[in-house]
Structure 1
Amino acid sequence: MNKIVSTQLLASDHMEHLELPSETWNMRREYFENLIFEYEEKGSYLVSEQACALIAEVQSCFCAGAWITVIILAFTVIDAQLRETELLDFKGNSKQLLKRLGFDARFQKLRLRRNELVHINLDSPAITVDQQWADRGKLEEEAKESIQLMLEAFFSNPGT
């Protein structure tokens, strides 16, 4: 069922979920940077320029508490990283890319979740305004899992 919502109401409701730079923001930044450091200290890696830039966006969204955006962007980083460092000339879709490179079902699950969020299904929306309010903790955990997968894929190709 469609809801008619004024854009002013929608914007103000959404903004209440986003954190301004604060102690919470700093704790999230430290969490994110510690995850990256765990991988970086293990060696050098072949990395995608675009994926690197997008990771900065993922971090900003994570610190702000924009959980849905984190999930969407995390898979975008995976796709960019794998296409630029693993299979430059690959012409297939993301599902085929993950399968060809042997990534497990967790990555396909993230791909499917991203697709649900990006491609609208009028009969069954992937996210609602009510869920944004009621499921903040669950969405945060989903965002953290997405970040873990993103970093696993990003740091999957060690340099020499």
Structure 2
Amino acid sequence: MKPAGDDAEARTRWFADVMAGRGTERRNDLGVAVGDHTQALLVELETVFGAGAWVATVILAVAVIEAHLREQAIASGRVIDPYLNAGTLFADAGLDERFDVLRRSRNRALHVSDPPTLTVDMHWFEAERLEAEARFAIHLVAAALYGGDLPDEEEA
């Protein structure tokens, strides 16, 4: 289910390339300061993505973006409610609707529903879709943290 070795190394290189803006048209600001909390979550994000943990990648991607927005607000002296909903936080930051799509995807993974939106079978029979969603999430994290082009859709 979770390939190791060359696959994990290739995913880790891909992650680094996306974060560095390689292969994109433009990057707004390579000198963006990323706070300690966001950096720590980025390490976790890279780890789960490299391991092929697609659902965890989406969940952590939203956490990284949320942490970054909160750290930016604190650094600029703005008072921000620590319990402010991520959807409101994203909207207040002027993030594109694709970020809300990511947030809703995270919510579907975290919150139990009937019928379930997350099942064990998905890891086996929908792995390609889950991986595409995870890669899309990584692109959105890079755009939220460093600026630049947003992906139009999930990778095939």
TM-score range, shorter chain: 0.7 to 0.9
Q: Secondary structure at the match of 2:34?
A: coil
Per-residue deviation, residues 71-110 of structure 1 (Å, max 9, x unmatched): 0000000000001113552212111111111111100111
Consecutive unaligned residues in structure 1, runs of 5 or more: 1-16
More helix by share: 1
Distance between the aligned counterparts of 1:43 and 1:25, measured in 2?
Answer: 26
Q: Secondary structure at the match of 2:30?
A: coil
Corresponding residue for residue 142 of structure 1: 133
Per-residue deviation, residues 27-78 of structure 1 (Å, max 9, x unmatched): 1111111111227895311212111111111111111110000000000000
Q: Out of 123, 129, 135, which is 1:132 matched to?
A: 123
Corresponding residue for residue 97 of structure 1: 89
Corresponding residue for residue 29 of structure 1: 12
How far the C-alpha of 1:132 sits from its partner, in A, is 0.9
Q: Which has the larger radius of gyration?
A: 1
Amino acid at match of 2:120: V
* Structure 2 residue 151 is the aligned partner of structure 1 residue 151: no
Corresponding residue for residue 3 of structure 2: 19
Amino acid at match of 1:72: I
Q: TM-score, normalised by structure 2?
A: 0.82
Amino acid at match of 2:72: T
Amino acid at match of 2:2: L
How far the C-alpha of 1:26 sits from its partner, in A, is 1.1
* Structure 2 residue 66 is the aligned partner of structure 1 residue 83: no
Give me the identity figure in percent: 32
Specify whether residues 42 and 98 from structure 1 end up closer, same or farther in structure 2 by C-alpha distance, changes over 3 A only: closer
Q: Out of 51, 56, 64, which is 2:38 matched to?
A: 51
- Aligned pair count? 138
Per-residue deviation, residues 105-136 of structure 1 (Å, max 9, x unmatched): 10011111111111111x12121111110011
Contact 1:83-1:90 at 8 Å conserved across structures = yes
Q: TM-score, normalised by structure 1?
A: 0.80
Cα RMSD (Å) = 1.8
